[in-house]
Amino acid sequence: MAQTLAELSQSIFATLGLTGTTNSLALDENEGERECLLLVDGLGKNAIDEFGSKIKILRELKYERTLSATFPSTTATSLTSLGTGLAPGEHGMVGYTMRVPHSGTPERVLNALKWDERVDPYIFQPNETLFERANKEGIRTSHIAAKRYADTGFTRAALRGGIYIGANGIEELADGARAALQVPKSFAYVYVNDVDEASHGAGFGSEKFIAALEKVNRLIEQLLSSLPKGTRLSVTSDHGMVNRGDYLVVGKENELLKDVRLMAGGPRVRYLYVDKNGNEVFRTEGDIRKISFTDDEFSKLKGKIVTHNHPNKATGGGVGTSFSESDIQTAISADVSELRVVGTDGSRHSIRPIGKSWPKYSEVEKSWKKEITKIRSEIRQGKRSIFDNATRIAFENIAKKHGINYSHDTKPRVRPPG
């Protein structure tokens, strides 16, 4: 199982005795009971492998292990996992931007790092953070980072509970961490984003990137020289960086946004939101016995989900509790993705190809007619109930043989007239 920031933060708090946490990284106990975690945003293993010489102080630290980034590997998701000790699927902060449920039509997109104050961070991310849990058990927790992050929606959602110490430079960051760790049973989380900012702005390996690494080197030196005795300093990151190569703009000179009503996520992982009931291509009505399509309408059926109702007795119908031969022929010849029918009794049926394509209709028709003849003979001979639906049973028996997935709910339902 991959070890992420969730496992790291849980392991650190476990060494401080926090109930309900697991030391899955098997960290050594620290008698000083003072833990300082420095997270350098964007400082992935590839940066250390290629430019480690710029952070010479790292040689004085013990290499513990390489962690995996969360999925998606974006700061908002990673830091929420660190703050809560949970996986993204549990805490729900699943990207740089995300859909806000029940926020109107169309629903809004929330940028986690530029929070929309209409969204309550305590509701959007309702799980207790490790900071909150630790405070209840007498473990002093602090969060040392730039002053501008102090009361943001993201901080309140992902990292709430710790004493926030605003610090804008190396001296202030080191002083804040030192003050936070004056007593045993204390945890200080220090965050800097210079490496990430330089990578996004000027590129991985650029002069600004190298300058940011050198700043990290000075910060670690300062922390090592000033943190109280008995403090263990851990250095980690949320993700790495690569320079962008070829790329594609979703929706520009392509149809990737067709039928999409909302797009969120980030460059690493995109989320495309579509209507839960799909977009209606067209609607048509037939008579009691049949539905007719124009050539244009028929061409639009390809690759679509087609749903139709068999008329019930209230409209002069009452024939057709399952698929008819014409239904199957239409599904195959029009190459629909799925055909659904609501029978005269309210039962619901669905067919779709098991593989990428439908079988030949002539082969299905031959097997189906043979099976229907057999079942109707069994009914006449008293081997089956007269209430058995020969059409449905026959098709159910031969569907899988021809690569068709047939599912149905045959429990009668109340249908309105029409």
pLDDT tens, 347-383? Answer: 778 888 988 899 999 998 898 889 889 988 888 888 8
Q: How far is CA 59 from CA 172, 282, 352, in A?
A: 24, 67, 60
pLDDT for residue 316: 42
Cis link prior to 359 (omega < 30° from 0)?
no
How far is residue 389's CA from residue 376's CA, in Å, rounded to a whole number? Answer: 9
Superfamily of domain covering 5-236: Alkaline Phosphatase, subunit A (3.40.720.10)
3-state secondary structure of 232: strand
Per-residue pLDDT, averaged over 158-176, amounts to 97
What is the pLDDT at residue 356?
A: 83
CA-based end-to-end distance of the chain: 55
Identify the bridge partners of residue 262 per DSSP, sorted by sequence position: 273
Are 21 and 85 contacting, i.e. CB atoms less than 8 angstroms apart?
Answer: yes
Q: Are 80 and 153 in contact (CB under 8 A)?
A: no
pLDDT in tens, 383-411: 888 767 777 788 888 888 899 998 877 55
Cα 204 from Cα 201, distance rounded (Å):
9
State the pairing for strand pair 262-265/270-273: antiparallel
Return the pLDDT at 315.
Answer: 41
3-state secondary structure of 11: helix
Cα angle 105-110-114, degrees, rounded to a multiple of 5: 145
d(CA 129, CA 93): 13
Residues linked to residue 39 through DSSP beta bridges, in sequence order: 191, 236
What's the one-letter identity of residue 45? K
Instruction: Kindly tell me if the per-residue pLDDT of 320 is higher than 80.
Output: no
Q: In angstroms, what is the C-alpha Rg of the chain?
A: 31
Name the nearest CA neighbour of 199 among 216, 185, 183: 216
Exposure string for 114-150, b = 16+ CB within 10 A, e = fewer: ebeeebebeebbebbbbbbbbeeeebbbbbbbeeebe
DSSP 377-400: HHHHTTSS-TTS-HHHHHHHHHHG
Per-residue DSSP letter, 411: S
Residue 285, judged by CB atoms within 10 A of its CB (0-12, 13-18, 19+), counts as exposed
Q: Identify which of 406, 293, 323, 397 has the alpha carbon closest to the alpha carbon of residue 358.
A: 406
Half-sphere exposure of 394 (CA within 13 A, CB side): 24
Per-residue pLDDT at 270 exceeds 70: yes
What is the spatial distance between Cα 341 and Cα 350, in angstroms, rounded to a whole number? 7
Q: Which stretches of 184-334 are DSSP H helices?
A: 194-202, 207-226, 295-300, 325-334
Residue with more model confidence, 52 or 11: 11
Asked if pLDDT for residue 321 goes beyond 80, the answer is no
Q: Show the tokens assigned to 217.
A: 């080197």
CA 299 to chain centre: 35
Average per-residue pLDDT for the chain: 88
Helix (H, G, I), strand (E, B) or coil at 263: strand
Q: From edge to edge, which strands make up the β-sheet containing 270-273?
A: 109-111, 97-99, 262-265, 270-273
* C-alpha 146, offset from chain centre: 29
Give the model's confidence band at 101: pLDDT under 50 very low, under 70 low, under 90 confident, else very high.
confident
What ranges do the domains of the chain cover? 5-236, 295-409
Which sign, positive or negative, has the C-alpha torsion 53, 54, 56, 57? negative
- Phi, psi angles (nearest 5°) of residue 258: -65, 130
Give me the phi and psi of 5, to 5 degrees please. Answer: -65, -25
Q: What is the pLDDT of residues 234-255, one digit of tens each?
A: 999 999 999 988 888 888 888 8
